[in-house]
Structure 1
């Protein structure tokens, strides 16, 4: 059952990325500084150099200055830092903070948490197995969030109920709980709409960053 659910989720993610790439005409493309590939911004992370010459992750994509783009991949950031790629691209000395990897992950997670909390306050989200299950059965769910550290059986069962609904498993139960206004949350459903789309985008960036292969 878990294997079948994993395959289904993998298929959903591939379809989601294909849809993102197909919509790239509506979302400007950027070249990854580390890998050289050209991807939609929705699958990348922007960095800038501040006035003191230090590298700063700009996950909101709002900071002034020239942007340096990396795919949402922890290994890509590590490579860019270890090979001095930011300094080469900037043609100037760039100070790499020792915690830039951890800081980037923290900011990505915080952005996801804040968006889920916003959906909850707007009445566009519910948490808890039974409430999420009821929303799924009524076709009211645009995005399903499952805790990354939840039990395999529970995730498999909820994944089977999700059907074609996109599933994000980037946040931990503690992080989902912070967004849901409680200590822990394992399942959170988001209504279809712009907030669900934004959470999906940010969740995929965080999932990509946390899925390091090194």
Structure 2
């Protein structure tokens, strides 16, 4: 209902103020563009979706793996985490041109850009979950003879899965941003490429249509993570 109300308000404002299409297109114009240009938009949406999936998967694997290894080697982790925090502070718009320069205009640079954006929330949340295991559980495991790696793999890892998926939930709607930023800098296809080309031609309805599809991909991607979470988060301190 809220979305419908906003769309109706948008249409009313455009109609009342008689805004030119290149400044703010009406929702009806965006819908018309989605219909007439659906073939091209779908083709480019699939390009972006492949980049999102590949980058998200790589970022999730590297992020979770890094958090696990740094928890396994805590002294090494105390040295590495500050460097990771510094890297996280770099704006993605600064990194993107360098990635295109290093990896080219193809899919690889967009996947790497997406992976970088996904990496940090996943690694940070998972590391926090691994570090916050209930002290009573840790003491009981030690009394039972569990070693460092047994405790990490058999107890801390399962109990940290909810935090891992919290990171994945945060990263899911951010993953499209990485792909699109990479496409803005340099690409031959994708929704970001469509936006840049349409913006240069002052085709605001095409820009909004591409934004709508990108938002839809982000929502569906987040929903997919939510659906997968119950299968991997059966263990929690409460249980």
TM-score bin (small chain): under 0.3
Larger Rg: 2
TM-score (norm 1): 0.23
Structure ranking higher on relative contact order (CA contacts 8 Å, 6+ apart): 2
| Larger helix share, 1 or 2 | 2
TM-score (norm 2): 0.21
